[in-house]
A and B are shown apart, each in its own frame.
Chain A
Amino acid sequence: MAQILIVDDSNTVRSEVSDFLTKNGLSVSVAVDGMDGLAKLKADSGIKLVVSDVNMPNMDGLTMAEKIRGELKNNHTNIIMLTTENSPIMKERGKAAGVKGWIVKPFKGDAVLATFKKLVQ
């Protein structure tokens, strides 16, 4: 069982984020796009936090967040977007979908580790 699911189409980002979190004592699984993310979340009830990119092929991160709350009826898993996007419109869509927070890439692990640890408790 993983505590955190990293969803990003970039292997570089998946590796960077998951390596950092694993080294800091958190268990992590990864998904390559929103569809994969939904499947991984369905299959692992232990996931407490989803950290997802926005722009991805097949299914984007905001659509995935809407489906997590809608189709999966999962209102307990925290969702944080990790993206190059910083548009207020996208953030509003994220808020409406129940997204808990927003990080503009690049990922700076030390800046978010303490909060991630709280969110998976």
Chain B
Amino acid sequence: MMISDQAQQGIQHLLTQALDECFSVNGQLPVMTPLTEITPNDNTRVTVLTVSSYVFKLMLFVCFDVDAKTKQLFLKDAGEELSAAEAEQALCDVISEKENLCCGILSRELAEFFPHMGMSTPNFLEQGSLSYMEMLHYDYMHYFELSLKEDVRLQIGLCMCAYDNVDFTVTAKEETAETGELELF
């Protein structure tokens, strides 16, 4: 199956918007740099979330290191009161929720082209699973590094498997969904 060039560009554009919104720190946008692969170390944790339609499945892998600067950036001073295990759990929870928000934006934007979008909850993978990404038989894969404040770096993998030809064109616009407002029925 084929994912057209403009569909790939559209996905990248939507993902960039979503990452900017979810991973900005004090107004500083993250910087995206292409990677050829994800290179984990012993402290790397991997969370994955799936956004699906009838014609494709898109998986977003977010890899981050459990280290002092990452904890400080995401947990701030609250991390100092926690044990190492609690701080790691809190860090995993904060980053997976940011990934959840990011995929929520992607899902809402893609719903403009593909009705019946669905999303998983975030799941954590053993980092050894990254060696088996090829087994996903994806039709499109994009790796990049996300540089945040305080020299914190995340490695991101965007993997898309198509069940039919996928073609759509994203026009540059702000996200349309109102967030945070209560819609009463």
Contact = CB atoms under 8 A, between A and B. Distances in A.
Contacts of A99: 185
Nearest to A109: B180
A71 to B, nearest CB: 21
A104 B177 contact: yes
Contacts of A13: 97
B14 to A, nearest CB: 14
Interface in A63-81: 80
Contacts of B103: 84
8 nearest CB pairs, A to B: A84-B104, A108-B180, A12-B97, A101-B184, A10-B97, A11-B93, A112-B182, A102-B183
Contacts of B183: 101-103
Contacts of B105: 84
A100 B97 contact: no
B1 interface: no
Contacts of A104: 104, 108, 177-181
B7 interface: no
A110 to B, nearest CB: 9
Contact of A10 (B96, B108, B119): B96
Contacts of B178: 104
A109 to B, nearest CB: 9
Interface in B90-107: 90, 93-94, 96-97, 100-101, 103-105, 107
User: How many B residues are at the interface, by size bracket?
Assistant: 20 to 34
A84 to B, nearest CB: 2
Given A85-B119, A86-B108, A87-B111, A10 B90 contact: no
A9 B178 CA distance: 23
Interface string A91-102: 100110001111
B24 interface: no
Given A100-B185, A106-B180, A111-B181, 5 more contacts: A80-B182, A84-B105, A85-B104, A86-B108, A104-B177
A101 B177 CA distance: 15
A112 to B, nearest CB: 5
Contact of A105 (B94, B104, B111, B182): B104
Nearest to A84: B104
A7 to B, nearest CB: 13
A115 B184 contact: yes
Contacts of A105: 100-101, 104, 179-180
Contact of B121 (A12, A56, A108): A56
A57 B108 CA distance: 21
B117 interface: yes
A1 interface: no
B173 interface: no
